[in-house]
Structure formats: structure tokens, C-alpha cells
Structure 1
Amino acid sequence: MPRHAEPAAVHDSLVLEPRDVQFDWSALPLHWIPDEPMATHTINVLHLLLPEGERWFVKVFKDALPLITDEQLREEVLGFIGQEAIHAEAHQEVLDHLLAQGLDPRPYVRQISWLFRRVLGDKPGLTAAQRHENTIERVAFVAAIEHFTAFLGNWALNSPGLDRAGADPTMLDLLRWHGAEEVEHRSVAFDLMVHFDPGYLRRLRGMLVSGPLLVHLWVRGTRFMLAADPTLKGSVRPTWREARQIARRGLLPEPARMFRSALRYFLPGYHPTKEGSSSQALAYLATSPAARAAGS
């Protein structure tokens, strides 16, 4: 299978490696962006979605490994699996910290777990051909979701508004370390999907299913977090208008930019290397306190 041409040599020469990072959450305030509960909890939805979601990514890609015939791609998939497994555990630690602060995320997390394990998980009773098709279809879902995680990772690496607002430095390092690795491995899921099925319809279907689902889960997660916050007592209700205002201050990704990014996924010549910068991602990983500690 011909490989996609990369726009920068640095991306083509990447070797994906898991970085076994550790974070100390003991001093993390509940509203880690000071006086910004909606911005804080909108980003906190990542901690609700990612542990179960990234464990599902790992399961899907392990199922796909025996089907891969390109050895370079196989190595990239193994690196992707290692990075995603560590991402899941890092965000799980934040959930445990929230619970200790009196915000119980478990009701929403149980719903996410049901979605990934029962709805998107293994289907019993499938024939070998049906299992093969189901694996490729789930890879297409992962590829579409990874487009969004790369967009968010690129945003996190270029979000000085969070620094100006005094966001907690440990949380910023988590977001930017994770974001940098999402940018670093942003093409793996897409290349795996194309390896199995180079046709356009699979890509189209993956985004049409995953995109609206992700938006729905994020909106529901934000509402849940604000309602569950014991310090707010239901006084803050999220609106799209407020989200746009917060985004203009640089504390959230702009919804319109995210929508335009999703539209780019539908372009026939699209490839994830056109989103974000591998050089910038590697530069952050070289300075990230958690990544540096993991490599020492």
C-alpha cells in the first residue's frame, strides 16, 4: 500500500514511545481555572470521556493488529497503543481527585463505560468475516475521534489564554503533554483505516457517526459537571453563547473552528499531518515537567 506523503520530514521519522508520566494532584483546586467554573468543567469533560474511550481505542487496535500487513504501520500502532494506555490512567487519576473533593463523576462515567463496552464493544455471535468488518468499522470511528483529539491537542499547545487566566500549572502540563502526544500520533488511526479500506465512504461514515456523538457527550458532560459541583449548587448553567464568549478569551476551543476542522476531514485529499505541527509537539514534550521526569 502506498504511504501518504508527509509535509515535514520530522513527522515521517517519528518513533512513537509511551512516556510513563506522573502528576501530583494533591494541590489541584476544584476550579483549576480561577473564577471560571464553566471553562474548568468544560475541559474537565475530557477526564470523564478519555479513560474509557482510550481503553476502547487500545482494545480496538489490539483487535486490528493481526490484520496489519505493513510492518512500519504495525510499529506505529504499537506505539499508539502504549501512549493511549498511559493517557487513560493519567485522566483516571484526575477523576479520583475530583471525587475526593466532593464532586462525584461516577454516574456519568458509568454511562460512558456502558457506551464503549456494550454499544461499541465486542459483538457476540459474529462470524469471522463479520468480526473482521466490525474491527475495520471501529477503526474508522477511532480515526474520526482522533481527528478531534489532534485538534484539541493543537489547541492546548497554542492556548496562552489559559496561562493568562492563572490555570493550575500541573493541569496545564497534563493537557499539553497529552495534547502533544495526540499531535505526535495524529495520523496513525487514519493510516490504519486507509490500510484496511482506502475508500471514501468508510471515512465519511466514521465522522458522521463519531462527530455528532462526541459533541452530544461533551455537552451532556459539561451540564453534568456543573450540576454535580458542590460549590455551585446548580447556579451555573452552560449555554453556547457563554461558551463562545469564554472561547474568545482563549479558555476554550472555539466551536466554529472545531466545526471547520471537522469539515476538513471530508475533503478527498485530507490527511491528519495537515493538522498541527509535529515539531511543536516534540518541542513541548522536551520541556514538559512530567515528560522530562518520566525520561530521567
Structure 2
Amino acid sequence: MPGTTQPTTVHDNLVLEPRDVHFDWSRLPLHWIPDEPMATHTINVLHLLLPEGERWFVKVFKDALPLITDQQLREEVLGFIGQEAIHAEAHQEVLDHLLGQGLDPRPYVRQISWLFHRVLGDKPGLTPTQRRENIIERVAFVAAIEHFTAFLGNWALNSPGLDRAKADPTMLDLLRWHGAEEVEHRSVAFDLMVHLDPGYLRRVRGMAVSGPLLVHLWIRGTRFMLAADPTLNGSIRPSWREAQQVARRGLLPEPARMLRSALRYFRPGYHPTQEGSSSQALAYLATSPAAREGNH
């Protein structure tokens, strides 16, 4: 059951390996959930945020590697870096496909790129002590964001509403393959943060900054996608009421559940293994069409 503590034996013996995947987007319709542009484009925000975001994760974790003194954690971080790099490329392919369908995502992506590279990127002229502090602070931001990606991954793996709505099978596989890997490596960023700074304040600050920022970016991204969709002519304006209605049909995560999940992050005894199921994630990864195709 989501939210219950899972046995950690799978996690303890886990070796994170980047999986070669192959997706064919040539037949993807613009509204890949039929007759559901609001749900389609709300989820499409993933493709706007993740290529730049996950490249930033990779950069932060590469910067953190020299600070790691635990060999097992170092191996997990290297596996995480490999998986995130492949995620970024997979979502980039969707952006390229959207551009070919007349929806230009580049204005919004440029803003996201500026945020990650200029606002959250390297700060020149820092002393070694300041640089270490800056790296740990950014690791805490990643840990908080990874809490949300694991929540979304767990939702994607347990979202029969998308199947009932006849969502495009290739996009469903992307969401579930990526979601399963997010569940699989959900502990790595948190464990790295605690390894570098076991203090509770760092965790709280990471979520206090990243949580509201992520919600803000998602709302703006949804508005952008609906406005940029050439078939809608600006006819759909997103609202919380509509988001709730779509979520009740099982096409989006329920905002209240996401909020409760974020609040669990603040519990002193929290650990990411309490969210989602490694066994379920690994079972999907063993059957994912894209992962199986990429390994042939």
C-alpha cells in the first residue's frame, strides 16, 4: 500500500544501473490522453522541467562526489547520475516531437534553463568552505525534489485511470519506466544529504525552498502548454477546480495527497523507503517495453 513502510532488503542490496531505453514517438498524438488536453498538458510539464532539471541534478551530484566518504553511497550516487542522464534525454525527445507538432516549448524551457544554470548553478569566487556549503545546500534541494518525483513515480505505477482513458501506450511506458526508476533510487539524494549534513534544519530548508518553487513552475508550465497548443486557441484556462475533477477521474495525482506526502518529509523519523515499493518498481522495469527494446 502507498504510504506504508516497505521492507528495505531490496533497497539494501540494490545496484543502480542505467537502463538503455528506446521510445518511438512518431505516432504520438498531441493530446495523448484522448479528449483530455488539460490532463495531457499538466503531465507534459514533466518534459519541460526534467531535461534541464535532471542535467542539473547530475552536475550537483558530480560536484558532491569528492565529499562522499562512504563507498556504498558513492556507488549509489554514480548509479543515480547514470539513470538521471538517460531520463533527461528521454524527455528531451518528447520536447523535440512536440515542436514538430506545432507546439513550441522553447520559450518556457529557456526560462527553466536560466533558473537551473544561473540561479541554482555554480557560484564563482567561493572559498573552499563556502563551495562545500553551496554543494550541500543544492543536494538538499535535490533531495526535496526527489521526494516529489518518487511520489509522482509511485502514482504513475498505480494509475489505472490512465489506462481506462486509453492514454498513448508509449507515453504511459515512459511515465512508468521513469517513475519506477524514481521509486527505485528514491533514497539516494536523501541519504547523500544526511551523509553530508545530518541536521534536520537542512532538510526543512530544502523542502521549504523546493516545494513551493516546484508547484509554481508546474502551474506556470501547465498554463504555458495550454496557451501554446495550436489546436486550442487559448480556449482552456487551467483552474484548481478542474485539476481536482481531472484527478478524481484518476488522470492526475490528487493535490491533497501530494500535500500530505510533502508534509511527511518534515517528520523527524522520515526516510524515503517509507514511500512507494521497490519490489513493484523492479517488477515494472523487468517488463517495460522501452527497457526491453533498448536491451535488444
The question of 1:103 aligning with 2:114 is answered: no
Residue matched to 2:31? 31
The equivalent residue for 1:259 is 259
Within 2, Cα distance between the matches of 1:251 and 1:12?
A: 33
Q: How big is each residue's C-alpha offset from its partner over 1:138-190, in whole Å with a ceiling of 9 and x where there is no partner?
A: 00000000000000000000000000000000000000000000000000000
Aligned length: 292
Q: Determine if the alignment matches structure 1 residue 238 to structure 2 residue 246.
A: no
1:49 partnered with 2:46: no
Contact kept, 8 Å, 1:180 with 1:282, in 2: the verdict is yes
Mapping for residues 201-216 of structure 1, pairs under 5 Å: 201-216=201-216
Tell me the alpha carbon deviations over residues 178-234 of structure 1, each in whole angstroms, 9 at most, x when there is no partner: 000000000000000000000100000000000000000000000000000000000
CA shift, 1:56, in A, is 0.1
Equivalent position amino acid for 2:143 in 1: A
AA at the equivalent of 2:135? T
Name 1:145's counterpart in structure 2: 145
What is the Cα-based RMSD across aligned positions, in Å? 0.9
Could you list the structure 1 runs, at least 4 aligned residues long, displaced by more than 6 angstroms after superposition. Answer: none
Which amino acid counterpart does residue 110 of structure 2 have in structure 1?
R
1:1-296, aligned counterparts within 5 Å? 7-296=7-296
Tell me the distance in 1 between the aligned counterparts of 2:174 and 2:106: 21
User: Higher relative contact order by CA 8 Å / sep ≥ 6: 1 or 2?
Assistant: 2
Q: Is the 8 A contact 1:6 1:12 kept in 2?
A: no
Report the AA paired with residue 294 of structure 1.
G
1:6–1:284 CA distance, 2 compared to 1 (3 A): closer
Question: Retained in 1: the 8 A contact 2:25–2:170?
Answer: yes
Q: Secondary structure at the match of 2:130?
A: helix
CA contact (8 A) 1:24 1:170 kept: yes
TM-score normalised by length of structure 2: 0.98
Task: Give the gaps of 5 or more residues in structure 2.
Answer: none
For 2:79, give the aligned amino acid. G
SS in 1 for 2:23: coil
Aligned-residue offset at 1:10 = 1.3
Deviation at residue 11 of structure 1 after TM alignment = 1.6
Secondary structure of residue in 1 paired with 2:125: coil
Tell me how far apart the structure 2 counterparts of residues 39 and 119 of structure 1 sit (CA, whole Å): 30
Q: CA deviation at 1:292?
A: 1.2
Supply the AA of the counterpart residue of 2:280. Q
2-structure distance, mates of 1:47, 1:278: 24
